[in-house]
């Protein structure tokens, strides 16, 4: 057994763990932070994405013992003082959440992106979340949410001009990739 000490969402956590325990198991089973999900267990789906020393990793392929002395951030740490982050609010506003199971991993990947690159191009956004599988949304609204968050954090609106800001209830379609279809 190994004694480890790590920071999780700003709090110091101490644990005694077997070498074979993954960070995902530590978070979910030991620390009861169930926001981080298991989708495949082999690092292919991104549902378990957390930030390890600021870098997005799949927690299913990190051993708890490897995180001794490290800083871990999960979805539970994204909102602060009871307020949603701009990124979380953008996900809501953009309609980027359906069943929600991929959402924590998506938000963490996007969070890491915006921290290393506050003004990402569309291609950079795609690259950042391409390791997060989603079966419900078709990704478009998620890409839009990240664009929107980046824009808001930079003090400007997203450049698409319309879909998620539909005040008039019109059924609009995809921005940025060409004109929409409308009704």
- Taking CB under 8 A as the criterion, which residues in 65-124 touch another protein? 65-66, 74-76, 78-79, 84, 88, 91-93, 95, 97-104, 107, 109
**Which residue(s) pair with 23 in the sheet?**
none
Q: From CA 3, how far away is CA 103, in angstroms rounded?
A: 31
Tell me the CA distances in angstroms from 177 to 77, 159, 173, one per residue in order. 33, 12, 10
Contact flag: residue 162 with another protein (CB under 8 A): no
Is 40 one of the binding residues for another protein (CB under 8 A)? yes
Which of 16, 115, 118, 130 binds another protein (CB under 8 A)? It is: 130
Minimum distance from residue 115 beta carbon to another protein (Å): 13
- The reply on whether position 180 binds another protein by CB under 8 A is yes
Out of 30, 71, 86, 131, point to the residue binding another protein (CB under 8 A).
131
Contacts of 100 (CB under 8 A, 6+ apart): none
> Does 22 participate in binding another protein (rule CB under 8 A)?
yes
């Amino acid at each position: 057994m190994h004694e480890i000490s790590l920071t999780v969402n700003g709090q110091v956590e101490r644990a005694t763990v077997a070498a074979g325990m993954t960070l995902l198991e530590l978070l979910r089973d030991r620390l009861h932070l169930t926001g981080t999900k298991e989708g495949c267990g082999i690092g292919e789906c991104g549902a378990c994405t957390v930030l390890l020393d600021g870098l997005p990793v799949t927690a299913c392929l990190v051993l708890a013992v490897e995180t001794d002395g490290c800083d871990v951030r999960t979805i539970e740490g994204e909102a602060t003082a009871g307020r949603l982050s701009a990124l979380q609010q953008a996900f809501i506003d953009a309609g980027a959440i359906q069943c929600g199971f991929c959402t924590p991993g998506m938000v963490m990947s996007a969070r890491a992106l915006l921290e290393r690159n506050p003004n990402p191009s569309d291609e950079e956004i795609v690259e950042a979340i391409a390791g997060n599988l989603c079966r419900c949304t078709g990704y478009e609204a998620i890409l839009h949410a990240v664009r929107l968050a980046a824009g808001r954090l930079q003090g400007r609106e997203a450049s698409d001009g319309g879909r998620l800001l539909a005040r008039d209830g019109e059924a609009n379609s995809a921005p940025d990739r060409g004109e929409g279809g409308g009704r």
